[in-house]
């Protein structure tokens, strides 16, 4: 029997692209897609296909953009409760032999007490306290629990740097497409990126091969935020930190960009970000 892969989060860009790529691959017999469709409906998590022929589960369903998800509460519901239910189902399914989870390098947090570079085994010094990054920390916790209870399943956790590319729409791409890009005065973040196609290639290889463990996935080298903005050719405006949050909150309230309060903290995070992965 060939490979049957279940992909969560297929209604969103990366999940959908991955499902498309995998279904075209001769090594994969069948791809099952799962998502909360339409995403804005407040469903209590994921829907599950009761088909015990699947042997690989790819969890792409952790969402970073609350506006697209239909609010922070829904986002947390999908991210955390959805993961718990998915893992619960996997644990009951003996045919599951591999689990690939999309996570983020944001789980390392960011702050002045953090080392400049994080390797996979290092513990965060400033654990993220809100939003998507915190969800991802919790998701990884449940995934570790699952790995303990089902030692026969090869669990791969991929901690991605910021996705960037022509197709993907994230808070990061929104931020960089602003005509005037606000930054925090006196801080210049170090940023790492990964192209969406490279990221998908990684997930594909993790699905088709067997690479149990946790991996940081990022492009080589880093860009400074100021440098990245110069390369976009956009204007940069440096705001003092105390003005940054109210400013961000107002443009987000006006519906201009997909920033919630903690996504503004994101921009502030972004602008002061000191985490990169090795």
Partner 1 sequence: MPNAKIIPIHGEEPIVPRLVDDLEPDVFARLREFWEFVQSRLAGDYSVDDLGFDPEFNDKVLMALVRPLYKSWFRVEASGLENIPDAAGALVVANHSGVIALDAVMTQVALLDEHPVHRHLRMLGSDLVFQSPFLGEIARKAGHTLACHPDAERLLSDGEIVGVWPEGYKGIGKPFAERYKLQRFGRGGFVAAALRTKTPIIPTAIVGAEETYPMIANATVVARLLGLPYFPITPTFPLLGPLGLLPLPSKWFIHFGEPIPTDQYPDNAADDPMLVFNLTDQVREQIQQTLYRLLLQRSSVFG
What SS3 class is residue 180?
A: strand
Q: Does residue 161 belong to the site contacting partner 1 (CB under 8 A)? A: no
CB of 208 to partner 1, least distance (A): 30
How many other C-beta atoms are found inside a 10 Å radius of the C-beta of residue 124? 17
User: Distance (Å, rounded) from C-alpha 33 to C-alpha 41?
Assistant: 18
Give the contacts of 273 (CB within 8 A, at least 6 positions apart).
Answer: 110, 189, 190, 191, 225
Q: How far apart are the first and last CA of the chain?
A: 38
Tokens at 253, concatenated: 């309230």
Residue 120 touching partner 1 (CB under 8 A) = no
Q: How far is the CB of 125 from partner 1 (least distance, A)?
A: 8
Toward partner 1, which CB reaches closer, 163 or 244? 244
Q: Work out whether 186 is an interface residue with partner 1 (CB under 8 A).
A: yes
Q: Cβ closer to partner 1: 218 or 260?
A: 218
- What 3-state class would DSSP assign to 120? coil
Rule CB under 8 A: say whether 245 interacts with partner 1: no
Interface residue with partner 1 among 26, 113, 151, 255 (CB under 8 A) is: 113
- 93 — alpha (psi -120 to 50), left (phi > 0) or beta? beta
Is position 95 an interface residue for partner 1 (rule: CB under 8 A)?
no
| Cβ at position 63, least distance to partner 1 in Å | 29
Footprint of partner 1 on this chain (CB under 8 A)? 111-119, 122, 184-188, 190, 221-224, 226-231, 241, 274, 276, 278
């Amino acid at each position: 029997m060939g490979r049957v892969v279940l992909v969560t989060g297929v209604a969103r860009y990366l999940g959908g692209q991955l499902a498309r790529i995998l279904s075209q691959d001769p090594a994969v017999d069948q791809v099952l897609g799962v998502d909360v469709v339409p995403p804005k409906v407040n469903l209590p998590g994921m829907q599950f296909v009761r088909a015990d022929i699947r042997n690989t589960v790819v969890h792409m369903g952790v969402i970073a953009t609350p506006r697209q998800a239909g609010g922070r509460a829904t986002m947390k519901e999908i991210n955390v409760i959805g993961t718990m239910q998915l893992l619960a189902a996997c644990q009951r399914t003996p045919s599951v032999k591999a689990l690939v989870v999309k996570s983020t390098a944001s789980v390392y947090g960011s702050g002045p007490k953090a080392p400049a570079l994080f390797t996979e085994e290092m513990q965060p010094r400033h654990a993220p306290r809100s939003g998507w990054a915190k969800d991802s920390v919790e998701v990884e916790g449940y995934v570790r629990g699952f790995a303990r209870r089902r030692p026969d399943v090869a669990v791969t956790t991929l901690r991605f740097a910021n996705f960037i590319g022509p197709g993907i729409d994230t808070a990061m791409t929104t931020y960089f497409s602003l005509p005037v890009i606000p930054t925090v005065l006196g801080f210049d973040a170090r940023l790492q990126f990964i192209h969406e196609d490279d990221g998908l290639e990684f997930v594909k290889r993790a699905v088709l091969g067997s690479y149990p463990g946790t991996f940081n996935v990022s492009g080589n080298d880093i860009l400074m935020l100021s440098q990245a903005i110069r390369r976009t050719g956009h204007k940069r405006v440096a705001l003092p930190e105390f003005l940054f949050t109210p400013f961000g909150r107002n443009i987000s309230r006006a519906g201009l960009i997909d920033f919630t309060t903690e996504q503004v903290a994101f921009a502030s995070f972004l602008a002061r970000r000191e985490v990169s992965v090795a």
